[in-house]
Structure 1
Amino acid sequence: MPYKSLDPHYFHLQYLKEDPAWLIDVSMFFEFRGRRIRDAINIPSSKELYAFTDTISKNTALFFYCTDGFRSKQAAGLLYNRGFRNLYNLEGGIIAWKKDGFPLEKGRVKKKKSRPVRQTAD
């Protein structure tokens, strides 16, 4: 497998360990606005994903999620083919994240940060 698929607990722990790291929601914007993990950025298309990853090191840890984990697996696979190797997928997606009791944000979306800010789950 070209990426590591982790349950919500290990996904969260690994994200906190990695630096630099980006948390990427590959859902459509209306889904992202409706519920998302804190500090995530929304990149719903492969074109936008390629444009974003052209600006970062291939050593950067990338953590992907979507609603159920299907689209995020595809995104991780695309970037593996472009030379990225530090790739993680949230197994079961945001559904599993919520089921395991991790917090979600919803509503208004703030502008993208130039660099992710680490925060622990409350």
Structure 2
Amino acid sequence: MRTFALKWLFSVILFWVSFNSAEEAAVVTTVDVHDAKGLLGSGHRYLDVRTAEEFSKGHLENSLNVPFMFFTPQGRVRNPDFVEQVSLVCNKEDFIMKGCQSGVRSLQASADLLKAGFKNVKNVGGGYAAWLENGFPVKKPEEETSSSKPHTEEVVTVDVHSAKGLISSGHCYLDVRTVEEFKKGHLENSLNVPYWFFTPEGKVKNPDFVEQVSLVCNNEDQIVVGCQCGVRSLQASTDLLKAGFKNVKNMGGGYAAWVENDFDVKKFEDEL
């Protein structure tokens, strides 16, 4: 009887340890901005999950921006493609620091990524606000546009509302998503030159991207560049500026934010 009781007790303890270990695997590790700064200096990537509007007002240098939520006239809406969009720019083995304005959205976003199989995710407690409070360096719009030194590779990012106005006033819209994505829906009168291709071997950058854009746009054209969420288009805009295109703007939030704001789109069935 005593042996049975000991076996039962051992089984309960083993189950409790296993259960808690599984629970802990999904628990988000939060670090303060001082630790985050050190980790970024050692090679971690910084993923900013604020909206494109917030990001454009100031952000950490070399950070990626994939919004976890959109702010629309109807209220706050969660980005339904968040994990998929992060997967386009980060691998599941990458060391990623997640930040937002105060640390709340990034905590939720980090939990979602861990559930999706990302293994090395940390949340930055206090977010961008705490980063500023500690006097750590940030990148602001005026630094990107009014410096005395030429910053030809610095991309100006505008939100979808500003982009809509620019397109209405004659700017060309260049959609750098894949042909498959473009066919599912796009802005009217937009051009499509993919920046990446998705192959069975993985994601491949279009080696002729700049050359192909040059066939449909001049270096002096006013161009708004967009993708699904604003990440590919940021990289594409950088490449175009390096190649001598002078009037290029990135649309923060991309097609996803455009749709969330109920702006007009063209879908494949509309064109048949």
Q: TM-score, normalising length from structure 2?
A: 0.38
Aligned to 2:57: 34
Which one has more relative contact order, counting CA pairs under 8 Å at least 6 apart? 1
Structure in which a larger fraction of residues adopt helix: 2
Runs of 4 or more consecutive aligned structure 1 residues displaced over 3 Å after TM superposition: none
- Aligned partner of 1:62 among 87, 96, 106: 96
The structure that has the greater radius of gyration is 2
Structure 2 residue ranges without an equivalent (≥5) = 1-23, 69-78, 145-153, 156-233, 237-272
Q: Distance in 1 between matches of 2:139 and 2:48?
A: 13
Identity fraction in percent: 25
- Number of residue pairs matched? 111
Q: Measure how far apart 1:56 and its partner are.
A: 3.9
- Aligned partner of 2:124 among 81, 90, 95: 90
User: SS of 2:47's equivalent?
Assistant: strand
* Aligned counterparts, 1:1-122, within 5 A: 2-18=27-43, 21-45=44-68, 46=79, 47-54=81-88, 56-107=90-141, 110=155, 111-112=234-235
Structure in which a larger fraction of residues adopt strand: 2
| One-letter amino acid of the structure 1 residue matched with residue 127 of structure 2 | G
Structure 1 residue ranges without an equivalent (≥5) = 114-122
Q: Distance in 1 between matches of 2:138 and 2:51?
A: 16
What is the root-mean-square deviation in Å for CA atoms of aligned residues?
A: 2.0
Q: Measure how far apart 1:58 and its partner are.
A: 1.4
Q: TM-score, normalising length from structure 1?
A: 0.79
| One-letter amino acid of the structure 2 residue matched with residue 35 of structure 1 | G
Aligned to 2:162: none
User: SS of 1:63's equivalent?
Assistant: strand
Q: Distance in 2 between matches of 1:66 and 1:44?
A: 9
